[in-house]
Amino acid sequence: MKSFIRCRDVLLCTLVITFSFSRTFSDMQDQYYTGDSTNSMNLRQTTAENIAQLKKKLRTVKVTEYMHIPKCGTLIYRNVCEKKGMLTCLDKTMLLNRKCGLIGEHCDWLSKYTCYKKFNRRRVDDLYFFTLIRDPVSRVRSHYTYFRSSACRNRRPKGSGWSKSLCSKVGNYTAWLLDESNWTHNLVTRMLYGRKVSGNACRISEVKEYRFWKHEFRRQQYLENDNMIGQINTSPYVLEKAKNNLRKYFLLWGPQSEAQEFVCVLRQLLGKKKTLNIKNIIKGRKTSYPKNISDSDLYTDINNQYALERNWLDNELYKWSLQYWNMLKLEYPACFL
């Protein structure tokens, strides 16, 4: 009799569990589809807030400035900011001010902003930046192919940011990707984060970069070991601050693969004429490839995976940027015909 009762209880429990699981699974399905819809609504809401913030910036913007991230569109700055009738950018004499340490092209937005704040008597909140962001796998590959012929001499660095260790791997893309001293990784997020260093803020040495991030992680109580490059790649704090800086200090950001559309949207935002010869703005740059180095490993799946793993922050930032950019397409359809 007791056995029967236990068996009956077990059967009853089984039915209850089965029913509960069925309801839970059904609820999970409902939550999944509702969640998907909610995520879409949240994205639209966030994008609407960003667009509203963008329109608020347009009421105060007087000066725009391009933040050039290496291998993300050099000629955009030269052709958009230096030609009459295009965009009003920071004065070149101020950008080359040695007191600001702005010697070179690849300056963080923060160094330019600080310089403008220091030497300009006008209000600082009339300056906003714009920049192009590139898929990290493509950017890292392009950085390697562009600099490998000029970064080193006799396997020693020539001051281009490559370490002696990287120079020893100049003919092996896989080894170059995996090198622990490779500061090419997550460069987009690091520049948007804003690095405060002494001296030339446009050409930050490995030593200064290392010291800056060690100080930052120690200040945030995030310092785990001496591998700064690895810690940066796993830091959600660095990623979120880069996103916040984009929202606060940038007028526009978009993918490098749609540079033509980017310039069109930017000019519409600033009330410029729609008609322009885009060929005079965007021109390709030829890259010299050494004949004695093989390119057979540049596009392999394993190397693409390595690049993604070591550029997790840049990849997350790129995907986040595309969401905003795709919503902007609905606001400015004439630029995407």
99: CB partners within 8 A, 6+ apart: 119
CA distance 274 to 288: 35
Task: Flag whether pLDDT at 273 surpasses 70.
Answer: no
147 and 160 in contact (C-beta within 8 Å)? yes
Looking at residue 203, its pLDDT comes to: 79
Question: How does pLDDT run across 161-215, given as a tens digit for each residue?
Answer: 688 888 888 889 999 999 999 999 999 999 999 998 777 777 788 888 999 999 9
The candidate with the shortest Cα–Cα distance to 149, out of 286, 287, 284, 285, is: 287
Domain count, the chain: 1
Output 138 or 291, whichever has higher pLDDT: 138
Q: What is the pTM of this model?
A: 0.80
- Per-residue pLDDT of 88-125, as tens digits, reads 787 766 666 656 656 566 788 998 888 888 777 666 67
**For the domain that residue 306 is a member of, what is the CATH number?**
3.40.50
Q: Which pLDDT belongs to residue 100?
A: 67
Residue 29 clears pLDDT 60, i.e. is over it: no
Residues 258, 261, 263, CA angle at the centre, nearest 5°?
A: 110
What phi and psi, each to the nearest 5 degrees, are found at residue 269? -60, -40
Tell me the C-alpha distance between 120 and 174, whole Å.
46
pLDDT band of 18, cuts 50, 70, 90: very low
Q: Does residue 94 belong to any structural domain of this protein?
A: yes
Angle subtended by helix axes 74-81 and 259-269, to nearest 10: 30
Establish if 220 belongs to a structural domain.
yes
Q: Which of left, alpha, beta for 212 (phi over 0: left; psi -120 to 50: alpha)?
A: alpha
Mean pLDDT over each residue of the chain, to the nearest integer: 77
Q: Is the pLDDT reported for residue 294 higher than 80?
A: no
pLDDT at 330 over 70: yes
pLDDT at 163: 84
Could you tell me which residues come within 8 angstroms of residue 157 by beta carbon, excluding any fewer than 6 positions away? 151, 163, 164, 166, 167
Residues with Cβ within 8 Å of residue 212, at least 6 apart in sequence: 195, 196, 197, 204
Q: 132 is in which domain, residue-wise?
A: 58-288+298-336
Q: Is pLDDT at 147 greater than 50 in this prediction?
A: yes
How high is the pLDDT of residue 297?
A: 84
* Highest-pLDDT range among 11-20, 38-47, 70-79, 319-328: 319-328
